[in-house]
């Protein structure tokens, strides 16, 4: 016996492409609950705020790998996540959070000379902590949802952010940028 009609189940064998296709093809039959709307709003707002911060970090980062990670994160993770949430909310007739004026774009790629106010290790640590908080928010979005398309969207966002988190941790390990908590004896 399969799932009830209109329910999408995520299994461990699912990959991001399968989940994304199911989200794109889902036809909602039930209304969004307040918790689902709030979760989506908070995830989108968090990403909108993070977008401005990432753009500033991109303008300050000197390490090529860190710059690539940030740039890829902006273009392939943050902006698409915001757009997916906006599209879903719009489709439901709910006002979606808007992307603010992106005035930081003029800083990216410009030689700021000695006007560096944050170092690469500080950027990596800050992004790591921001992603950790985002993952918690996205997890709560998954467990506070009852509609399968919302669960799938939150899961997709979580999985892609977790991939970025792992990439950042690997880079930070290579560069010696990790601040580790005290080890147990």
pLDDT digits (tens, 9 = 90+) for 16-53: 666 666 666 666 667 888 999 999 999 999 999 999 89
Q: pLDDT band at residue 96, thresholds of 50, 70 and 90?
A: confident
Torsion-angle region of residue 14: left (phi > 0), alpha (psi -120 to 50) or beta? beta
The answer to whether residue 106 is domain-embedded is no
The tokens of 176 are what? 């010696």
The number of distinct structural domains making up the chain is 1
The answer for 143, left when phi > 0, alpha when psi is -120 to 50, beta otherwise, is alpha
Per-residue confidence (pLDDT) for residue 12, from 0 to 100: 46
Residue 43: its pLDDT value, please?
96
Rounded CA gap, 134 and 125, in Å?
14
> 3-class SS at 86?
helix
Higher pLDDT, 69 or 2: 69
Distance CA 8, CA 152 (A): 8
Degrees to nearest 5, angle at CA 153 with 93 and 37: 40
Domain for residue 19, yes or no?
no
pLDDT per residue over 101-139, tens digit each? 665 555 555 555 666 789 999 999 999 999 999 999 999
Q: Exposed, middle or buried, 132 (CB in 10 Å: 0-12/13-18/19+)?
A: exposed
Instruction: Determine the Cα–Cα distance for residues 109 and 19; give it in Å rounded to an integer.
Output: 35
Whether 164 maps to a domain, the answer reads yes
Cβ pair 139, 3 in contact under 8 A: no
Give domain status of residue 1, yes or no.
no
Residue 4 located in a structural domain: no
Q: Is residue 81 part of a domain?
A: yes
Section 67-92 average pLDDT: 94
Q: Which two tokens stand for residue 17?
A: 């492409």
Q: Considering the domain boundaries, does residue 13 fall inside one?
A: no
CATH number assigned to the domain comprising residue 86: 1.20.1260.10
Give the domain range for residue 149.
33-99+116-175
Q: Is residue 24 part of a domain?
A: no
Kindly state the average pLDDT of the residues 168-172.
96
pLDDT of 30: 78
Instruction: Label residue 68 by pLDDT band (50, 70, 90).
Output: very high
Contact 16, 159 (CB under 8 A): yes
pLDDT score, position 171: 97
The whole-number pLDDT of residue 4 equals 47
CA distance 39 to 145: 8
Query: pLDDT over 70 for what percent of the chain?
Result: 76
Helix boundaries (H) for 6-119: 16-25, 34-60, 64-73, 79-91
Burial class (CB in 10 A: 0-12, 13-18, 19+), 7: exposed
Q: What pLDDT sits at residue 26?
A: 62
């Amino acid at each position: 016996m399969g799932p009830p009609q209109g329910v999408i189940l995520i299994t461990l064998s699912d990959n991001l492409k399968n989940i994304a296709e199911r989200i794109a093809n889902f036809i909602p039959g039930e209304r969004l609950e307040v918790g689902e709307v709030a979760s989506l709003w908070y995830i989108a707002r968090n990403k909108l705020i993070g977008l401005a911060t990432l753009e500033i970090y991109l303008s300050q980062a000197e390490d090529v790998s860190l710059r690539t990670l940030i740039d890829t994160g902006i273009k392939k993770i943050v902006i698409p996540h915001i757009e997916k949430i906006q599209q879903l909310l719009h489709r439901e007739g709910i006002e979606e959070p808007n992307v603010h004026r992106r005035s930081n774009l003029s800083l990216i790629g410009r030689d700021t000379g000695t006007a560096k106010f944050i170092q690469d290790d500080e950027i990596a640590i800050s992004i790591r902590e921001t992603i950790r908080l985002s993952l918690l928010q996205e997890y709560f979005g998954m467990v506070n949802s009852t509609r399968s398309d919302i669960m799938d969207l939150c899961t997709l966002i979580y999985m892609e952010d977790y991939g970025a988190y792992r990439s950042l941790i690997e880079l930070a390990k290579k560069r010696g940028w990790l601040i580790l908590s005290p080890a147990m004896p």
